[in-house]
Amino acid sequence: MKKIALLILAMILAACSAGGSELSRNQAKWQEAGITHYRFQLNVSCFCLFRSQMPLTIEVKDGEIISMTDVNGEAFPMDDPMSDLVMKHATIDRLFSELKSDSVQTADRLTMSFDATYGYPVEVAIDFIELAADDELYLSVSAFEPLP
């Protein structure tokens, strides 16, 4: 019985470390690409007020947000406290940082997929507490383009 329990524990630990290494490998791929100026669309889906404004089109240069517009072409309020959730994910580096945070890494359910060329996260689904309602967070990055 102890051997089976140890085997199951080893398999769980291996699965957890494999996910972390996949995240780290893709972050390294992103950093190696050396892209400092880019534009992408970010879709944040959750039980939140700004869902109707998605996706956002975000331009980033040297790690700073140059512009952020909503689906209607209106400027997204970057300084509004209600925008904190979006701002945590508004650059590829911030997205990686947030995915490595304790709150995400200890979520009950976490799935991620990454761009094969540049390594940035393409789809992320987080269920922080599996049995709780309205705590899920879904992120998607699309229309990514490096800029000169």
pLDDT, residue 22, reads: 95
Q: pTM for the full model?
A: 0.81
**Model confidence band, residue 1 (pLDDT cutoffs 50, 70, 90):** low
Residue 145 CA to residue 39 CA, distance in Å, equals 5
- For 36-92, write each residue's pLDDT tens digit: 999 999 999 987 777 778 999 999 999 999 999 999 999 998 887 778 889 999 999
Strand order in the sheet with 56-61: 64-69, 56-61, 37-46, 136-146, 121-127, 109-114
